[in-house]
Amino acid sequence: MEQDLRYPIGRYEPKPFSQAQKEEWLTDIQFLPQALEHAVSNLDEAQLQTPYREGGWTVHQLVHHVADSHLNAYCRFKLGYTEEKPAIRTYEEKLWAETADVKTLPINVSLTLLHALHKRWYEFLKSFSDNDFARTVYHPEHKKEFTLWHLLGMYAWHGRHHAAHITSLRERKGWN
């Protein structure tokens, strides 16, 4: 069976709340910047401009996308924690991946942003009571509520998912 290059670690699968799962996902959030940095370590400009799959984003775009996505995620958690069932803002991620900042700025700008963002996000999340993860946000595109627990798992997966896009590309290309 051929691997689906879009989902190198599989699709996100929600999991029930547990202390062990919470610790695993919080660790994923805490260490995602280092994982991404490791994934892109020593790649040259031509490699950074290589799509992770046919028709997919380049490594360069992936790094900037993770920063864009996780900025939005951080805001979604803040809203969900401080308001009752707030509607979250959606965005056109494909269009964001084509903006001038993504095209022109080096990835170290987004890696630096991710280090600071994830430091704050992790500190915020580890202060949550177990009940805080049951708080909800409303996603207008999906027309349904999601718990902050669901979002924690989704964004922990999201970081691993995109880091794996890069590491699996490196393996396929033999980039050491």
Q: Could you report the per-residue pLDDT of 38-86, keeping only the tens digit for each?
A: 999 999 999 999 999 999 999 999 999 999 999 999 999 999 999 999 9
Residue 170 has pLDDT above 80, yes or no: yes
32 close to 159: Cβ distance less than 8 angstroms: yes
- Per the structure block, which two tokens stand in for 89? 């803002």
Per CATH, which fold does 27-37+58-173 belong to? Four Helix Bundle (Hemerythrin (Met), subunit A) (1.20.120)
pTM: 0.96
Q: Where are the domains of the chain?
A: 27-37+58-173
Q: Could you report the per-residue pLDDT of 136-168, keeping only the tens digit for each?
A: 999 999 999 999 999 999 999 999 999 999 999
In a 13 Å sphere around the CA of 19, the CA atoms on its Cβ side amount to 0
